[in-house]
Amino acid sequence: MDTEDLTEMAWGVIFSASQVSDTLKAELGAMASRFKTEDEWLRGVCAHLGEIFEDPAEYVDSWDMQDTEAVTATMIGSIAVELRDRVESVLSTPMNKRGSRSW
């Protein structure tokens, strides 16, 4: 799947990530290629965000985010929870109510 195949609501997850970290935005976008459907991608994103929340310092250190983006473990942990909640909301929304796929 490509990010161009995402609905507006799903694309909003990537957009929200970009407000805190370009690295996280790029990572979530790149993950789309590993999944066949939007729902599969959303579940993968949810799992990944859960891993980030469990050890935000490790995630920030592994990408050197403190120095390159001025992103702290607290910031990335907070956005991980916020995005995970958003992903769960998108998943609970019927596909035909998630918005257009044409960009």
The number of angstroms, rounded, from the C-alpha of 28 to the middle of its chain's C-alpha atoms is 5
54: its two tokens = 């469990």
Blockwise average pLDDT, block size 10, the chain, 103 residues: 93 96 97 97 98 98 97 98 98 94 63
The number of angstroms, rounded, from the C-alpha of 8 to the middle of its chain's C-alpha atoms is 14
Give the predicted TM-score (pTM) of the model. 0.93
CA-nearest of 14, 13, 17 to 71 is 17
pLDDT tens sequence across 15-31: 999 999 999 999 999 99
